[in-house]
Amino acid sequence: MIITKEQFKKDFEKKMLKLYAQEVEDSTIHMQYFTLGYLMKEYISEGWAKTTNRYTKYGEKQVYYFSIEFLLGRLLASNLLNLGIRTTVNDALKDMGLSLKEIEDVEVDPGLGNGGLGRLAACFMDSMASSGIPGNGNGIRYKYGLFQQKIVDGYQVELPENWLRDDNVWEIRKSDKAVKVRFYGDAWMKPKEDGSLEAIHTDYQEVLAVPYDTALVGYENKTVNTLRLWNAEVPNYSDDIQGELNFNKVLLNKREIESISEVLYPDDSHQEGRVLRLKQEYFFVSAGLQSIVSQHKESGHPLSELHNYVAVHINDTHPAVAIPELMRILMDEEGMEWAEAWHITQNTMSYTNHTIMSEALEKWQIDLFKELLPRIYLIIGEIDRRFREILSTKFGEDQNQIEKMAIISGGYVRMAHLCIHGAHSVNGVAKLHTELLKSQELRDFYMLYPYKFNNKTNGITHRRWLMLANPELSDLLDETIGNSWRRNPQDLKLFKKYKRDPDIQKKVEQIKQNNKEKLAQYIKEKNNIVVDPNSIFDVHVKRLHAYKRQLLNALHILHQYHEIIENPNFDMLPKTYIFAAKAAPGYYFAKEIIKFINALADQINNDPRVKDRIKIVFLENYSVTLAEKIIPASEVSEQISTTTKEASGTSNMKFMMNGAVTLATLDGANVEILEEVGHPNIVIFGMTEKEVLNYYRNGGYNAREIYESDARVKRVLDSLTNGFIKGIQVEGQDIFKNLIDYNDEFFVLKDFDSYVAAQKKMEDLYRDRFTWNKMSIENISSSGVFSSDVTVMQYASGIWDTRIIER
């Protein structure tokens, strides 16, 4: 987009007057934000309309990315960058006595995701638009995002995250595109005179799904795609509802319906929460598919060719009901026979698996599913019956094998099985993950459908995680290798030739130091902890889960603490350990680890014997915006999940792109990071895939033996229960029991020795500034392959069969 500074000033002043009847010089910072936001939406709207019309006019095949999470982050800075006018706007606002940075900081960061899944979806949306791929997002417009985390006396406390308390400038409500979604009731198949069957669904609860559309702006191109989020509302009631009793029923029904789009991931530890979770999944899937089919029919193309114009992607199993729902629409509403509807459905749907752990594969109790979605259950029942016939031809009378693979079995509807059978493509999200799916968790399905399985390693958008988050480094890259990397991130490899250049090394080091000083100031303001920006910034930020092993990190810190106490001359470089993580509200062990980390921080940070050689910071309420502050300042990237447990990871890519050195197990995409940067530029520790799988298959692991034989481990674990760490009597006992009595499911103690050695190696490397800076440059220059631009291009050609229109 081309706009002059003077034109922008006029537009801004005019918009301010229109919105607030206020002169710019008399405006508040919130007025300035909303004025700029609504003005940007106007600038975007023309390109948005032209993109939509172009897709329709030329019959482009469009991708619809179905995800229960979209963790977008703030959009103002991103939209200004992608429009190519950020510098112009910054200069114009400065002329007017305003600060773009201060205005950008007003924007709420919507927490419409829990972590990697939602952030990946957001990166894909950005990359599809920037790569010229006709792509749309489809999800839920939660009233409250993932909870706002507060740390009170070391404990996680959850508060509502009301991101919609003020206007959302980016969305447009499309009431005319609303559809109705049905729950409950009775469903059966009624014979017709011609011998065919007709689906009957009566006594259902009807919910109005109203779409809110947000523009997704491509980077300096003419593509503006759409993210459609659905809001659950009450349909208009007929005029014959009278009386207090009926009115009260209406109010109860209203509350029940509106709760569908109220909160992300309701607590599913009880039946009511599980029902609501499944309601959410069907709600946005049904609404999205109804909208897609309606739009396809309006285009004039026959429904029999839907799969030639539409690709629906199932991001993890939450949208798995898309498969039977499309069958329902095609058969019940459009009159298709089963065979044709199934052919279209299979060729429309594709599925990404995001987990290796079989216990995390989604499944629903039959009774719950059947009561809430009776018609969908009938369709899944028929899919299962026909799938069992396929299995019978392969496995004969082996009923155990058939039950093992069936979609409905053991009292449950198994959503991953539904996705694999009902989609034409099944992909993992890292090479190791995909190979483990094929050889372990989904081996039976791989043997049945080898042609469906493929790998698409996750990626991140370098526009947000480098260009926006680290402008100084971006400018240095422009100065040294030109700016082609901004459009073609794999050109970052050109920076590799500067890895031994002392001047460039010094500049890279200074940029990192500047970012560390900014983060240190933020930590002082938020946590009232003074950290040394000259210390090593060792960072572990991600969802709090036992397999991600924040506990291993904390136990190592406790080990170092003991070493300092016992030997005041203990040789170590000053280190600042930075944590940020949310634990699921019902995940009590994860919340106990948070308490342990905070208790450890409180004790170490205030112990004069430590002499500030260790500082621990737990930053509350981890979000995209907070990550943008932390990642550019990070020097050591902790990626220490138990090998075979992390599907991919994306924070590992963000850190390396900003010059951090990865401390990693050979898990998820860490394996591919190693392949790209080489052994000298990453520090690897821990058990191999084969060693881990051997323990899981054959047993033989004994955590107590390690506790009794390794004096360091014994000292650390005893500190959890003997009062050495203050304020964790209950938490310390539970952590001890988890590691010893329950035999350390994620091999924290097995990898402890290797981790201690890896931390020492990382410290030794850091002492050699030439070597460390060379490693940092190697990581930056090797990160381009992990751009989500690269990933979505692979999806477009290998799965979705979509044309790349412009780039």
Query: DSSP 3-state assignment of 787?
Result: strand
Contact 214, 170 (CB under 8 A): yes
Contact 166, 149 (CB under 8 A): no
CA 605, 610, 612, 614: dihedral to nearest 10 degrees?
-70
Amino acid of residue 69: E
Contact 318, 281 (CB under 8 A): yes
Query: DSSP 3-state assignment of 59?
Result: coil
Question: Which stretch of DSSP H or E encloses residue 523?
Answer: helix 502-527
CA dist 227 and 139 (Å) reads 8
C-alpha dist (Å) from residue 317 to 57, 285, 364: 33, 12, 11
Question: Which stretch of DSSP H or E encloses residue 618?
Answer: strand 614-618
Amino acid of residue 751: D
End-to-end Cα spacing for the chain = 15
Tokens found for residue 503: 């001047």
CA dist 516 and 512 (Å) reads 6
Tokens found for residue 267: 């607590």
The three-state (H, E, C) secondary structure of 157-221, written as one string: EEECCCCCCCCCCCEEECHHHCEEEEECCEEEEEECCCCCEEEEEECCEEEEEEEEEEEEECCCC
Q: At what angle do helices 76-83 and 116-130 cross, to 10 degrees?
A: 20
CA dist 171 and 250 (Å) reads 29
Amino acid of residue 421: H
Alpha helices (runs of H) in 26-68, residue ranges in sequence order: 29-57
Strand 536-541, strand 453-455: pairing: unpaired
- Hey, how many other C-beta atoms are within 10 angstroms of the C-beta on 789? 26
CA dist 371 and 702 (Å) reads 45
490: region left, alpha or beta (phi > 0 left; psi from -120 to 50 alpha): alpha
CA dist 379 and 424 (Å) reads 19
CA dist 343 and 422 (Å) reads 10
CA dist 656 and 677 (Å) reads 10
Phi/psi at 334 (nearest 5 deg)? -110, 0
Choose among 433, 422, 261: nearest CA to 360.
433
The total number of residues written for the chain in this structure: 807
CA dist 132 and 224 (Å) reads 9
Contact 364, 415 (CB under 8 A): yes
CA dist 805 and 55 (Å) reads 10
CA dist 542 and 582 (Å) reads 8
CA dist 646 and 631 (Å) reads 20
Question: Which stretch of DSSP H or E encloses residue 233?
Answer: strand 224-233
Tell me the catalytic residues.
354, 542-543, 548, 650, 654
Specify the DSSP class assigned to residue 641: P
Contact 65, 125 (CB under 8 A): yes
CA dist 385 and 394 (Å) reads 15
C-alpha dist (Å) from residue 767 to 502, 655, 764: 16, 20, 5
